[in-house]
Amino acid sequence: MKKYFKSLILFTIILTFLLTGCSSSIVTTDDEGTLKKSNVISSYEDDNNKGIANEEAKDDINKEMKVHFIDVGQADCILIESNNKFMLVDGGNNEDADRIVSYLQELGVKRLDYLIGTHPHADHIGSLDVVINKFDIGKVIMPPVSNNTKTFEDVLDAIEDKGLKITKPVVGTSYAIGDAEFIIIAPNKDYDSNLNNWSVGIKLINKDNTFILCGDAEAEAEYDIIANKIDIKADVLKANHHGSVTSNTSEFLDAVTPKYIVISSGEDNSYGHPHKEVLQEFKERGINLYRTDKQGTIVASSDGSNITWSTKPTSNFEAEKSKVESSSKVESTSKVENKEDADSKKASEKKVTYVLNTNTKKFHYDNCRSIANMSDKNKKLSEENRDKLIEEGYDACGICKP
Ligand SMILES: [Zn+2]
Ligand SMILES: [Zn+2]
């Protein structure tokens, strides 16, 4: 055991070095629309020598931890409580603020000891500004990457107004939360403009029960988590990226070998999350499946050795029909509550030709002024819709806001 911790600490130090090395390059590599970036970087607090969370706590028996997968439609919002300490991982979309605040207030939450914004997409940080204003906040953990949206700026403003600092996630660092603890397992490197892969990943531990939560991490980030050699075997996995086929690789599922999987997604979302290939694989693996789109809010209670659930697992392994696949749904897309990158524009109503920069992974309207600076070898035209481009790892340009 001692040896494990020693190597973990060593690993943390090496990683800290690597990640710190990366963040300076983030500022220089991105040439488009990164106004807030310098602010983000400068407001980071170094948090490297946190060490290992209190070991004694783990020896106690019957310490209850609850994990609430709050139904916020096509978005993530997870509340963790242990011995009257609380942590919120992600905060739904902008319009979910009232729902999240009242859910927390009904539980008597006054203070969030930790607030994690896994990555700066609107369906993960949407209501964090309101949450920051309403509750007493301890540590805010967010990856060192920004997004040029009003939603993200609102969160940064709320953090600044409250005099809070952002703690950069350092893989291997662990934190105590009540009688439980969590270890940072991602991000493991600089993912440039792929915001999903920047997702903060944690392994949540309550004695013998473990949960893995990794936001919207896609295949590349999953492989990097596996490669970092921290044991990610767990009882419960929150399906990455709302059950998308671009995430939830067989390799990752092999490494976690979850008994339970929770998918946080919204009914009739425009991405078709969760995807049928993923659900099929969960089914073949005999997973006990929970879905917020079919079952609403789901609560898991861990006593340190067993996990009990607020509801039975669903037998529904049917994929959501995506409007991309099903033309009959096209009319109803204006009602779709889904907006992964949201404040920008409504998803794909018309065929538009976008100009892609294959280097910076941004997409633009063909009249965007920044195209003039783009070298021809990085330029590519595409008629694919906006959602599809985002799924492929592209981000909307901050100037023309396609
Ligand atoms: Zn998401
Ligand atoms: Zn995302």
Does residue 332 lie in a domain region?
Answer: no
The closest alpha carbon to 8, from 184, 213, 237, 211, belongs to: 184
Residue ranges for the chain with pLDDT beneath 70 = 1-62, 321-351, 369
For ligand 1, the distance from its centroid to the CA atom of residue 238, given in whole angstroms, is 12
Count the domains in the chain: 2
- Residue 202 and residue 84 share a domain: yes
Q: What is the whole-number distance in angstroms between the Cα of residue 5 and the centre of ligand 2? A: 32
Query: How confident is the model at residue 359, as a pLDDT?
Result: 81
Confidence (pLDDT) at 397: 81
**Positive or negative: CA dihedral 68, 136, 124, 281:** negative
Specify if 326 maps to a domain. no
User: Is 321 a member of any domain?
Assistant: no
Residues 6+ apart with CB under 8 A from 67: 78, 79, 80, 204, 211, 236, 299, 300, 302
Q: What is the pLDDT of residue 402?
A: 81
Residues 213 and 273 in one domain: yes
The Å distance, Cα 241 to ligand 2 centre, comes to 7
Is 291 among the domain residues? yes
Q: Does the residue 32 lie in any domain?
A: yes
Centre of ligand 2 to C-alpha 57, Å, is: 34
| Angle at the Cα of 40 from the Cα atoms of 37 and 356, rounded to 5 degrees | 30
Pairwise CA distance, residues 274 & 245, whole Å: 8
Q: What's the gap in Å between 61 CA and the centre of ligand 2? A: 37
pLDDT of 367 = 73
Q: Are residues 250 and 379 in the same domain?
A: no
Q: Which ligand is nearest to the CA of 124?
A: 1
Q: Looking at residue 325, what is its pLDDT?
A: 44
Could you tell me the distance, in angstroms and rounded to a whole number, from the CA of residue 179 to the centre of ligand 2? 30
Separation between Cα atoms, residue 310 and residue 263, nearest integer Å: 15
Predicted local distance difference test score (pLDDT) of residue 341: 53
Residue 49 CB-density burial (10 A; 0-12 exposed, 13-18 middle, 19+ buried):
exposed
Cross-strand partners of 31? none
pTM of the full structure: 0.70
User: CA 91 to CA 387: how far, in whole Å?
Assistant: 21
C-alpha 181 to ligand 1 mean position (Å): 24
**CA separation (Å) from 337 to 18, 75, 101, 386?**
38, 10, 19, 16
Same domain, 48 and 125: yes
Read off the CATH number of the domain in which 162 is found.
Answer: 3.60.15.10
Ligand 2 centroid from CA 58, angstroms: 33
Last residue of a domain, one of 309, 335, 366: 309
Give residue 349's domain range: 345-402
Together in a domain, 50 and 138: yes
Q: What is the Å distance from ligand 2's center to 156 Cα?
A: 18
Q: Do the beta carbons of residue 264 and residue 73 sit within 8 Å?
A: no
Residue 178 sits in the same domain as residue 121: yes
Q: Which ligand is nearest to the CA of 75?
A: 1
